[in-house]
Chain A
Amino acid sequence: MKNEWPLWEIFIRGQHGLSHRHVGSLHAPDAEMAVKNARDVYTRRNEGVSIWVVEAKHITATAPGDKGPLFEPSESKVYRHPTFYDIPDEVGNM
């Protein structure tokens, strides 16, 4: 039987109020140990207030080949960005 510990992806909330961010990976036999290992490996310098772990095989990702159809259509929708609109200075901050 293969005994290599599964790979886990580690997400850490750096400060209160921020989103969790991917910081790296590690190996652990199960989720509880993955959390503990993440604490020891990735928060040695006081980097976190909360940890998420996800076994790497459970992550579903976009395929690199789909980059065009998935992400390029939004490039042309400039009207979603605030800088698209001209507001006269007299109106004040908006």
Chain B
Amino acid sequence: MVEVDKQALLQFLLRMGDNTLVLGHRVSEWCGHSPVLEEDIALANTALDLIGQTQLWLGYAAEVQGEGKTADDLAFLRDAWDFRNLLLVELPNGDFGRTLMRQFLFDAWHAIILGRLMKSSDTTVAEIAEKASKEVAYHLERSADTVVGLGDGTQESHDRMQAALDYLWPYVGEMFDSDEADEQMVAAGISVNPATLREEYGALVGRVLSEATLTIPESRFAHKGGRTGYMHTEHLGHLLCTMQWLPRAYPGCQW
């Protein structure tokens, strides 16, 4: 077996865990404000699943890091440049349509990669993926249905969903980007080359969006910088200000 580079594994785990952390946070912002009670409850379930997955990914990341930290330390005490989530998930919620479109675009990728990770050579990764993939299969079913329902609903809902897709599409490409850390994960059999997910993703997303009567923008331009931490959006800093305020203002407390 190939010797696993600890830093590369840590990068990979942070990428998984920061995605679920940041998206779970965004989705939880809806609680109490959704268009209808049933959706409010469903969105909270999605957020709860994502928070739970975060505890697993970041818990393992802290273990691999070996500095005696916890998942909470990683979530609440790192600054923006240390975050490794996709730009897509840190974008503000916008209207309900944009939130669900973002959810769908992420869920589709999430479901596919978790399917691959279930066969990871790292048993902890495989176990987390196994648990998460059941939750995410439902997230995907629900967000896909809602995207179809709103895309193929009234003229207004259609227009809003098309606008959401136009806004979010440039953030999709980053999912399939890779760097040296990814290569090491592939070599160790822990994860897969993100680029290899693109075809399955394209087919899945294409089918749902076409059923939703929505048009995928032609431009393949992709914003990048989230998963490497090189350049996040301005939005992440504000999110962290809110999320991390208490533990930073009152360090060392038990809550």
Chain A positions near chain B (C-beta within 8 angstroms): 5, 26-29, 32-33, 36-37, 39-41, 44
With A29-B149, A32-B145, A33-B145 as known contacts, state yes or no: A40 contacts B45, CB within 8 Å. Answer: yes
Would you give the shortest CB distance from A45 to chain B, in whole angstroms?
12
Complex contacts, A39 vs chain B, CB 8 Å: 138
Complex contacts, B36 vs chain A, CB 8 Å: 5, 27
A30 to B38, CA, bound (A): 13
Cβ B38 vs Cβ A40 within 8 A: yes
List B residues 37-56 near A (Cβ within 8 Å): 37-38, 41-42, 45
B160 at interface, CB cutoff 8 A: no
Complex contacts, B198 vs chain A, CB 8 Å: none
What is the size category of the interface that chain B forms with chain A?
Answer: 10 to 19
B142 at interface, CB cutoff 8 A: yes
Would you give the shortest CB distance from B49 to chain A, in whole angstroms?
11
Cβ A26 vs Cβ B45 within 8 A: no
User: A26 — nearest CB in chain B belongs to which residue?
Assistant: B38
A29 to B37, CA, bound (A): 13
Complex contacts, B145 vs chain A, CB 8 Å: 32-33, 36
Would you give the shortest CB distance from A73 to chain B, in whole angstroms?
42
A37 to B145, CA, bound (A): 12
Would you give the shortest CB distance from B46 to chain A, in whole angstroms?
9
Would you give the shortest CB distance from A56 to chain B, in whole angstroms?
15
Cβ B142 vs Cβ A36 within 8 A: yes
List 19 A-B pairs, Cβ < 8 Å.
A5-B36, A26-B38, A27-B36, A27-B38, A28-B38, A29-B149, A33-B145, A33-B149, A36-B42, A36-B141, A36-B142, A36-B145, A37-B38, A37-B41, A40-B38, A40-B41, A40-B42, A40-B45, A41-B41
A26 to B145, CA, bound (A): 18
A37 to B37, CA, bound (A): 10
| Nearest 3 interchain pairs by C-beta | A40-B42, A37-B38, A40-B41
List B residues 133-189 near A (Cβ within 8 Å): 138, 141-142, 145, 149
Would you give the shortest CB distance from A48 to chain B, in whole angstroms?
14
A29 to B42, CA, bound (A): 15
A48 to B145, CA, bound (A): 22
A86 to B40, CA, bound (A): 58
Would you give the shortest CB distance from A53 to chain B, in whole angstroms?
12
Complex contacts, A5 vs chain B, CB 8 Å: 36
Complex contacts, B141 vs chain A, CB 8 Å: 36
Would you give the shortest CB distance from B36 to chain A, in whole angstroms?
7
